Amino acid sequence: MRLFFRQVRPYYGLLLDHTASRRGVLANANVEVVSVSATPPRDVGLLEAIATTRAIRRYTDDPVPVGDLEQILWHAGRAPSGSNRQPFRFLVLRDGANAEAAKAVLGRAFRSGWATKRAGDGYRPSRFADSMQHYVDHFEATPVVILVCLERYRDVSPYEGASVYPACQNLLLAARALGYGGALTMWHLGVEDELRAMLQVPATVALSACITLGVPAGRHGPVKRKPLDEVVFDGRWGDRPTWITT
């Protein structure tokens, strides 16, 4: 059994087990239980989480408790932003008529987006292709969908993503730490106007990303990435660092 607690002021996540509670850790009057979950994740260090957090597109039917969701979003909101304006906003779609209708619209867009990409990019049968097909075919069953938005305070800029995408990465890492998985996509843009009208999103707000969340049907693990010496230059474009050893 996994118990999540938070300090009322300030807010920090604290992971306790039965042994810790028997030691009297709960005697602190400024601690309250916010959620209970049955399958505890293994403790994951920050660098390990960064190195192993993969896009998770298959989810079980288990819900994401609101206490866990609150912690994930709280940590997402600790991300840096230009002038610390914190313009990111999180529009959460869980259940209820409005959320279900929005998920149906998104599901249609995701299936169309993947069909176009699969045909245009020439994907052959593979585990990845199967995973993507499952993802879009079951989109409406996704436990949590989060539209990550940017509340603009100036004209549209090609650099404005710098104030919203760090929050997206924080969100995915926080989900990983609590035993969940997610995937960031942009196929919501195919139905942006419909979503804006349905969810009453102001014209001054950008729909910057769509993140799905749930309990992984698979698992996180080592990710395949290019060797470091292929993506790092030293002092001048094209000069490979001699100090890279991995």
Backbone angles phi, psi at 182, to 5 degrees: -155, 175
How many CA within 13 A on the CB side of residue 49? 19
In the chain, where the domains are located: 1-40, 46-230
Dihedral of the alpha carbons of 212, 215, 217, 219, in degrees to the nearest 10: 90
Q: Tell me which residue has tokens 């707000």.
A: 205
Q: What is the pLDDT of residue 239?
A: 96
pLDDT tens sequence for the chain (246 residues)? 344 434 333 333 333 333 333 233 333 434 344 444 435 566 889 999 999 999 999 999 999 999 999 999 999 999 999 999 999 999 999 999 999 999 999 999 999 999 999 999 988 888 889 999 999 999 999 999 999 999 999 999 999 999 999 999 999 999 999 999 999 999 999 999 999 999 999 999 999 999 999 999 988 988 899 999 999 999 999 999 999 987
What token pair was written down for 72?
A: 């994930």
For the domain made up of 46-230, the CATH class stated in words is alpha beta
What is the structure's pLDDT at 40? 54
The DSSP symbol for 59 reads B
